[in-house]
Chain A
Amino acid sequence: MKRLLRILAAVLALAPLSARPATPPALPGDSVYQLPAALTDASGKPVEWRELRGTPRVATMFYTSCKYICPLVVDSLRAIERKLSAAERARIGFVLISMDPARDTPEALARIIAERKLDPARWTLLQPDPADLRGLAGLLGIRYRSLADGEFNHSTSLVLLDAEGRVLARTDQLGADGDAAFLAAVRAAAASGTGSGR
């Protein structure tokens, strides 16, 4: 009897959850969107990290004042973008998270979008809350260290996420030629539709 009551209580406790049809399906445990993180986009709009769910994306980190590798990071993403068909391109997002949120304000990010002629429909440049920066880097497996002169030491992985935020592929290979296997994975992610997140 006691046991029955317990089961009944458990069912009742679950009921409100299952009665809400509008609730999106639970995030998988291996989704990077499991981490709560607050960011701001290039238009100044606050963005919750998990709002990026729903579209496969290629994500990496950068900073706008970078003189060395970061322009190459943008170049590499643009090279991938160029190699996709129009249909594929429409289904992939590109995400650049700044590791320098103190200087990479929405204005600074908007400047990069304009200078590099990035399509805002596909490209999302983000200034993270400083408290969430290390966590976001941890999710993407990116290592960075700020230097006394304002530059950063950092690794340069490109990470392919499916619509649910699961890591499908990653590459450290930058440049216009890029990594053929990574490009193939991006194509496959685009072909898998706009994602199961809808």
Chain B
Amino acid sequence: MARRAAVLLALLPLCGQAAPPGDRYVTVPGGAFRSALRYEDAADGTTVAPYRLMRRPVTNAEFLAFVRAHPEWQRGRAAVVLAEPRYLSQWSGPLSLGDARPDQPVTWVSWFAAAAYCAAQSARLPTWTEWEYAAAADETRRDAREDPAWRERILSWYAQPSTGALPAVGGQPPNVYGVQDLHGLVWEWVDDASALLVSADNREQGAADKLRFCGAAALSTDDRENYATLMRVALLSSVQAADATGNLGFRCAKDLP
């Protein structure tokens, strides 16, 4: 046991290493990856290029600073075609959080607003594949998805009713890359959320499906046990870019310099 702990400790510095204290991003090394989604064009998996990912989801305080600097994104000013009427409705005013806590993840943000926030930081939203790749890790492994205990832990979050106030960001142990809260806090926008072409009914096949989705059929999965991923995909495939919900937030990513 002691020996194993020593090995783990020896590994730890490797994981969070690239970032100086206070840096909001960590470097996620690239690698081969097999998505839980069955991509007909990438049956053997794909390769993820190394990238930088925010350690934590963007908070209310951080988003407030953004709308102060970019008034066009304040509640009441943002065009409804880019952010639906419930945009930032958890705040007491366009520039006041009210009961929303500064360290809670910001939610009630549209894809357009999230993308604008990241662009203002010279960043971008992560792609779905980048997100899924980082979220496959646990504290010690880059891919923990086959571990029933890991799956159980994530599923237990989905089983909790989401009626209470959102916890603060950073409440969960960093994964092997140093990234926190990928599971168990909020859903997160990805850049290509609108690439997740999931048929409303997975049994829908054949001509109807072909017509709705030009080319290949809608995505399906190789991994029916991976509910954590499938629920994310189902949610992201059901929202439009101007939509906002009370449990959908985001974090930004960057290419390596």
Instruction: List residues of A whose CB falls within 8 A of some B CB.
Output: 27, 29-32, 34-35, 66, 68-70, 134-135, 137-139, 141-149, 151-156, 172, 174
Contacts and interface: CB of A to CB of B under 8 A. Distances in A.
Nearest to A151: B215
A152 B194 CA distance: 13
B48 interface: no
B212 A148 contact: no
Given A147-B40, A153-B215, 19 more contacts: A32-B81, A35-B82, A68-B210, A69-B215, A134-B115, A134-B194, A137-B241, A142-B194, A143-B194, A143-B195, A144-B194, A144-B195, A145-B192, A148-B42, A153-B195, A153-B213, A153-B216, A154-B215, A172-B211
Contacts of B191: 134
B61 interface: no
A138 B191 CA distance: 11
B240 interface: yes
Tell me the dominant secondary structure on chain B's binding face.
loop
Interface of B: 39-42, 79-82, 111-112, 115, 191-192, 194-197, 210-216, 218, 237, 240-242
Contact of A135 (B39, B214, B215, B241): B241
Contacts of A152: 214-215
A156 B208 CA distance: 12
Interface centre among B194, B196, B197, B216, by most chain A C-beta atoms within 10 angstroms, is B194
A32 B240 CA distance: 14
Nearest to B119: A131
Tell me the dominant secondary structure on chain A's binding face.
loop
Interface centre among B111, B215, B216, by most chain A C-beta atoms within 10 angstroms, is B215
Contacts of A156: 211-214
Given A138-B111, A154-B215, A156-B212, A143 B80 contact: no
The 7 A-B pairs with the shortest beta carbon distances in the complex, nearest first, are A138-B241, A69-B214, A145-B195, A34-B79, A148-B41, A147-B41, A29-B80
B253 to A, nearest CB: 14
Given A30-B80, A31-B81, A134 B214 contact: no
Contacts of A154: 197, 213-215
Nearest to A157: B212
A134 B195 CA distance: 9
Contacts of A172: 211-212
B241 A139 contact: yes
B214 A138 contact: no
A147 B195 contact: no
Contacts of B82: 34-35
Given A138-B111, A143-B197, A155 B213 contact: yes
Given A29-B79, A147-B41, A153-B197, A141 B214 contact: no
Nearest to B125: A134
Given A31-B79, A32-B81, A34-B79, A143 B196 contact: yes
A30 B79 CA distance: 6
